[in-house]
Amino acid sequence: MRIGAVVLAAGASTRFGSPKALAELDGRPILEHVLDAVREAGIDDIVVVLGHAAEEIEDGIDWLDERIVRNPDPRELSSSLQIGLDAIAEAEPPVQAALLVLEEAECGLTVSQCAAQGEHSEADAAQQQQPSVGHRESRQHDD
């Protein structure tokens, strides 16, 4: 089964005070850790939905080949979700499933656990919680 990922990073982060996607963890933006964890789970087709602070986030992340889409009105989470699902539906070759990931997902279950296609029940997955911090081999900015 071919799985794609939709990473939702369009929120305003008003309570946080700055874009959560750019908050540093071990010297790197959280969003980079999340994208690395998605790749380590064997998911190569990744769509990232940006909204508030999109330009700042685009400039602050060392992107690989993730597809970036923008939500022009990200006040509702459902609109970002719809934009991300529409984008992943255009993947070639097509994906049969989409994993939804929040920009701060690094704090919960590992992405590989979520992508395990139901091999474990939710109770089993909850018992196996462990943080996963990946590292990117190469980073390039498209200028």
User: How confident is residue 93, by pLDDT bands cut at 50, 70 and 90?
Assistant: very high
- Give residue 15's pLDDT: 74
- Which among 113, 104, 24, 102 has a CA at the least distance from the CA of 61? 24
Q: How would residue 112 be classed by pLDDT, with cut points 50, 70 and 90?
A: low
Strand ranges in the chain using DSSP code E only, listed in sequence order: 3-9, 24-25, 28-29, 45-50, 67-70, 97-102
Model confidence, pTM: 0.74
Region class of 118: left (phi > 0), else alpha (psi between -120 and 50), else beta: left
Q: Label residue 115 by pLDDT band (50, 70, 90).
A: low
Q: What is the arithmetic mean of pLDDT over 122-143?
A: 42
Q: What pLDDT sits at residue 3?
A: 94
Q: Tell me, what's the pLDDT at 143?
A: 39
pLDDT of the residue at 76: 85
Which tokens sit at 28?
Answer: 């790197």
